[in-house]
């Protein structure tokens, strides 16, 4: 099977109503990454010092050496930054989700106690704050299991959520396979949660953010002052709040780091944002586990038929008659590179259309000639396919007067004599007078133009049939 693993459609153009508690128009969710004490450091058994997300411009790893300046910046996050963030959010009575690196939590028990006393969620941020992209799968699996074990030992309960951040292509699958977490956040692909099928497990994904994130104080392009961070958060909030007022509530994630946002000049912008959103009604500020529980209750996953996952025999049996009496179209469509986008009507219709557009003229003529006349002898004999019968009935072609039936017969014969194939039209797009008008107009066209028009109508009929099937 030639299958594309990425999902480029998600919830699609009409995202579901999140139905947030209390009719909230937006969910604003704050994450505080706790990495201090879990970063790359030769003291931790790593080969080099940390070089990621600090205020040292152009930082590079120092192989085999401790980087005193880098260490002290991380230590600021634990010693001062965390407590400044803690005061801000406890005073505002807004709970946080902590992405806690297990080894960092183990080295910072007083901060863990403060998190728990505040009622914050402590999710897992992996065992160590290191890259996973080059880890062998077995090593990463062992690291994930050890992170869960150590987290439970330090915090007192196992993590219910997971975010690695510096993940590999295997991370989400490996975490899901443990069955340990209610949600995983190693994704940045949506404004709402969604379900991911990993083997037999239905895993909830709650997407995170790298843009509404104070990490941009340490990257380029990025923030320079607190006001820039505030402005970006405000603009994001305003847009999502307006969408919520229009009936499509979404989720706004905001990512924070002790050693970054914990600096006085940076946290001032965040403080202004908290004060700003207090002015609005219908703002829900949950922990991520609260979002997970809400989504599982309100939007439970339902496994359904997925064309892109069918074997050839099943696919052709299911869709072989979408193009009238032409199962070869479905056979060739199955061989295309299909993915999640083709599990929806528009995507699968496009796959069938691609086959038709690249078929020979003789093959396409065969498709046209496989279609029945409109209100013709097959309809009178009730010998139409189920789809054709329902379609013709939808336009009232199963209940013609004698005069109307005679007119259709006359037009069918004249059209076939001139063009050599039946008149084809997506009847669900028209009423009876509209069909007759199109019939008379198209009868007068030259055959090449009408051949192209008839092929387009075949594509349209397939699209409408798939809309009902899927």
Distance CA 151, CA 158 (A): 6
Assess whether 86 carries a catalytic annotation.
Answer: no
Cβ neighbors of 329 (< 8 A, separation 6 or more) are 322, 323, 352, 355, 356, 359, 367
Cβ neighbors of 193 (< 8 A, separation 6 or more) are 183, 204, 205, 206, 207, 251, 291, 292, 295, 299
Instruction: With beta carbons less than 8 A apart as the criterion, state whether 176 and 203 touch.
Output: yes
Distance CA 5, CA 96 (A): 33
Instruction: With beta carbons less than 8 A apart as the criterion, state whether 192 and 208 touch.
Output: no
CA atoms within 13 Å, Cβ hemisphere of 313: 0
Which among 86, 294, 371, 419 is annotated as catalytic? 371
Distance CA 45, CA 47 (A): 7
Cβ neighbors of 47 (< 8 A, separation 6 or more) are 63, 64
Rg (alpha carbons) of the chain, rounded to whole number: 30
Which residue do the tokens 């002790």 mark?
Answer: 258
The H or E element that residue 361 is part of is: helix 361-369
Distance CA 154, CA 113 (A): 10
- What residues pair up with 338 in beta bridges, in sequence order? 3
Query: What distances in angstroms separate CA 334 from CA 2, 355, 382, 466, one per listed residue?
Result: 8, 10, 31, 15
Q: Give the torsion through C-alpha atoms of 428, 430, 433, 434, to 10 deg.
A: -140
Catalytic residues: 371
């Amino acid at each position: 099977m030639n299958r594309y693993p990425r999902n480029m459609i998600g919830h699609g153009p009409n995202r579901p109503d999140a139905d947030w508690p209390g009719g909230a128009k937006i969910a604003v969710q704050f994450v505080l990454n706790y990495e201090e004490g879990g970063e790359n450091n030769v003291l931790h058994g790593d080969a080099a010092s940390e070089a990621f997300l600090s205020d040292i411009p152009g930082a590079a790893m120092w192989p085999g050496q401790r980087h005193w300046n880098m260490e002290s910046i991380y230590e600021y996050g634990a010693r001062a930054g965390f407590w400044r963030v803690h005061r801000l959010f406890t005073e505002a009575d807004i709970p946080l989700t902590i992405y806690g690196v297990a080894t960092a939590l183990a080295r910072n028990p007083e901060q863990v106690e403060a998190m728990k006393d505040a009622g914050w969620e402590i999710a897992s941020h992996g065992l160590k704050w290191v890259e996973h992209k080059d880890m062998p799968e077995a090593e990463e699996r062992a690291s994930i299991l050890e992170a869960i074990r150590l987290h439970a030992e330090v915090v007192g309960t196992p993590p219910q959520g997971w975010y690695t951040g510096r993940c590999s292509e295997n991370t989400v699958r490996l975490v899901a396979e443990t069955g340990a977490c209610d949600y995983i956040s190693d994704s940045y692909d949506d404004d709402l949660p969604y379900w991911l099928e990993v083997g037999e497990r239905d895993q909830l994904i709650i997407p995170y953010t790298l843009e509404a994130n104070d990490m941009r104080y340490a990257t380029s392009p990025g923030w320079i002052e607190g006001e820039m961070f505030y402005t970006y958060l405000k603009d994001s909030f305003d847009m999502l709040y307006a969408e919520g007022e229009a009936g499509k509530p979404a989720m706004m994630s905001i990512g924070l780091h002790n050693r970054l946002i914990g600096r006085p000049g940076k946290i001032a912008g965040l403080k202004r944002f908290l004060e700003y959103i207090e002015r609005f009604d219908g703002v829900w500020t949950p922990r991520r586990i609260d979002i997970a529980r809400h989504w599982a209750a309100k939007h439970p996953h339902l496994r359904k038929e997925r064309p892109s996952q069918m074997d050839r025999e099943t696919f052709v049996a299911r869709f072989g008659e979408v193009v009238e009496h032409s199962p070869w179209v479905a056979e060739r469509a199955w061989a295309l590179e299909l993915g999640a986008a083709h599990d929806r009507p528009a995507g699968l219709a496009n796959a069938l259309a691609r086959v038709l557009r690249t078929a020979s003229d003789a093959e396409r003529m065969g498709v046209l000639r496989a279609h029945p006349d409109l209100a013709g002898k097959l309809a009178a004999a009730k010998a139409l396919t189920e789809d054709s019968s329902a379609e013709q009935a939808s336009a009232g072609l199963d209940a013609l007067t004698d005069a109307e039936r005679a007119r259709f017969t006359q037009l069918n014969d004249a059209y076939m004599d001139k063009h050599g194939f039946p008149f084809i039209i997506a009847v669900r797009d028209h009423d009876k007078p509209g069909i007759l008008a199109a019939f008379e107009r198209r009868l007068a066209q030259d055959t090449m133009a009408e051949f192209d028009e008839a092929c387009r109508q075949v594509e349209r009929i397939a699209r409408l049939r798939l809309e009902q099937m899927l």
